[in-house]
Structure formats: C-alpha cells, structure tokens
Amino acid sequence: MAAVLRPCEMRAFVELIKLKQGAVDDLLLIGCDCLGAYTNRDYFRFVESVGDEGTAAFVQAALKQSSGPVDGIDLAPACRICEAFIPETADIHLGLLGVDTTREVLVQAGTQEGADLLARLEMKRSEPPVGRQKEIDALRNLRTAARDACFADTAAATDSVEKLTAYLAHCVNCYNCRVACPVCYCKECVFVTDVFDHDAYQYLQWARRKGTIKMPTDTVFYHLTRLAHMSTACVGCGQCSNACPNDIPVMELFRSVAHQAQAAFDYRAGRSLDEKPPLSEFREDEYQEVVGLG
C-alpha cells in the first residue's frame, strides 16, 4: 500500500510510529516538495474564484514565485514559516521546485524500498536540474526568516501569565485543536473526564471568592498541559489553528515552544525513525549542568 503525504504529515506519522500508534510494514510513503496550503476559509474563497482549475492555477503560481499570495490569497500561517518543506523520510520523493513541471517531474528514492520500486519501473536515470538546490535554499531562507520573526512576535505577546491569558481569551474549550492535532494520540484525554467536569456549586464558590470568574474555566491550564505533552512532538502542521473557530493563533504558540523544547534535546519531531523521543530514554551525560554534575 502507498500513502501520499505532505512533509508535515509524514513527520507526524513518524512520531506516531515511535508512539506505537502506526507502522510502516508493507507501506510505501510518497512525498513531494510541499508548496504550502490554504486555511479552510481561504481555500473555499480560492476555489470560488478559479473554479475547477484551482489545483493547476495554485501549483503554477506557487512554482513561479515559491511563496507569497496567489490571486490575493496567501498560504496558511504555518506554511509561511515552514522551513521543512522537503519530505526527508519519504520512500519516493517527487521534486517540483527548480523543475520544469511542464516537461518532467524529478523522482528520487529516499530508501532502499523506494530504490527497489524505481528499479522495477525501469525509469530513466538523470541528475537533478541545475539550480534546484539554489531555489530550495532561497525558499528555506525566506521561510526561516519569517519563522524567527513569528517566534519573536509570539514571545512578546505571551511572556507573562496576564498576556498569555489575553492571548487565549477567545478560547471556548471546544478542544478542536486537540482533535485536529495529528500527534495528539491519547485514547482518553484528561480534559474530557470527570476531573474537569465541575459541579455548579464549584463555579459559584470560585465566583464568590474571586468576585468574578471567566467562563469557560481551565482554559490556560488546558493549553499549558497540551504544550507540555506535545512540545517535543509538534511538527508545525498548523491544523490546530486551522480548526479553531475563533481564529486563535494556536500554531504560533505551539511552534514557538516546540522549537525551543526540541532544540534543547537536539531533536526534531519526525526527522528519523531511529531517534527516540525526548524523555523516553535515560541519557547519563544529559543536562549535567542542571543536576550539578558538570
């Protein structure tokens, strides 16, 4: 069986395999250079404006400029700051950037399974087009700069409890972000158990003690808990923000925290099946300066 996945989806699948929630037995992973995606709302606007030719119009425009608005509609925020748009763990990789797609598509094998398949297909051997790597590097530099600016803005907007509370003020605890997250894998979430099913008298007691109470309660605690759970596994796909009914920039917050958490462990979610997730193994020489063994 073959699965065609975007690079962020592929990284999420790699993380799920490590968490014993997936397997690659008899599965071939196919990926391509990711040109980005629209948010749900912008996608429908785009389709209404271009009709049935939407896919071709998007791909042609995206390949010409590699980034930026197409017909006045820009990519989703997660895509605009994604520097990992090449599917590094794919068995078969379809190259689009720096390739004249009106004539050909670059097909590369990323694993032995992929190489075996290409050998059976007897495809013509060739070298990557001249200038392809230059175009990839230019787009990666552009996305990295946008990412760093996003991280700085998010840090300034959430660097205190008061600011973080305001940042999440429009959250209604619908948990759409949790449901949409591809690596939030728990069979039962603590936030939908009796632990957070408060009785009416508890709300009244809190209101009397504080003079006022924000509804729903536990909003900041919910997001902090998800950050603690997902920061080392976040792949930056942006589905959390895409699923939010109130357009809270959840992705920006999670990617900012995840970038720092993963850097601390020299880990990148979905990079390799051989890397064990942080906190899942004991390393004797890790963080010696913290525990006073330096």
Q: Annotate 125-191 with three-state secondary structure.
A: CCCCCCCHHHHHHHHHHHHHHHHHHHHHHHHHHCCCHHHHHHHCCCCCCCCHHHHHCCCCCCCCCHH
Cα 291 → chain centroid: 32
Residue with the two structure tokens 């992929």: 114
Total domain count, the chain: 1
Report the amino acid identity of residue 127: E
Q: Who's near 58: CB < 8 A, 6+ residues apart?
A: 35, 46, 70
What 8-state DSSP symbol labels residue 95? E
Spatial distance between the Cα atoms of 36 and 4, rounded to a whole number of angstroms: 15
Residue 199 is assigned to a structural domain of this protein:
yes
Query: Please, what is the Cα angle at 140 between 138 and 142, to 5 degrees?
Result: 70
Residue 242 has what pLDDT? 94
| CA atoms within a 13 Å half-sphere pointing along the CA-CB vector of 191 | 21
Residue 59 is assigned to a structural domain of this protein:
no
Residue 57 is assigned to a structural domain of this protein:
no
Spatial distance between the Cα atoms of 89 and 201, rounded to a whole number of angstroms: 52
Residue 100 is assigned to a structural domain of this protein:
yes
Which domain range does residue 147 map to?
A: 2-37+75-291
Residue 13 has what pLDDT? 95
What pairs with residue 32 in β-bridges?
A: 94
Residue 214 is assigned to a structural domain of this protein:
yes
Residue 69 has what pLDDT? 67
Residue 255 is assigned to a structural domain of this protein:
yes
Residue 140 has what pLDDT? 94
pTM of the model: 0.85
Tens-digit pLDDT profile for the chain (294 aa)?
Answer: 999 999 999 999 999 999 999 898 889 999 999 999 999 888 888 888 777 777 887 887 778 755 556 667 889 999 999 999 999 899 999 999 998 888 888 999 999 999 999 999 988 788 889 889 999 999 999 999 999 999 999 999 999 989 999 999 999 999 999 999 999 988 888 888 777 777 888 878 888 888 887 766 688 989 999 999 899 999 999 999 999 999 999 999 999 999 999 999 899 999 999 999 988 877 777 777 776 766
Spatial distance between the Cα atoms of 227 and 248, rounded to a whole number of angstroms: 15
Residue 55 is assigned to a structural domain of this protein:
no
Residue with the two structure tokens 């850097």: 263
Helix (H) and strand (E) counts in the chain:
13, 4
Residue 194 has what pLDDT? 78
Q: How far is CA 31 from CA 35, 110, 248, 272, 288, in A?
A: 12, 10, 30, 15, 40
Residue 8 is assigned to a structural domain of this protein:
yes
Spatial distance between the Cα atoms of 105 and 8, rounded to a whole number of angstroms: 21
Residue 215 has what pLDDT? 64
Residue with the two structure tokens 């709302």: 41
Residue 51 has what pLDDT? 72
Residue 67 has what pLDDT? 53
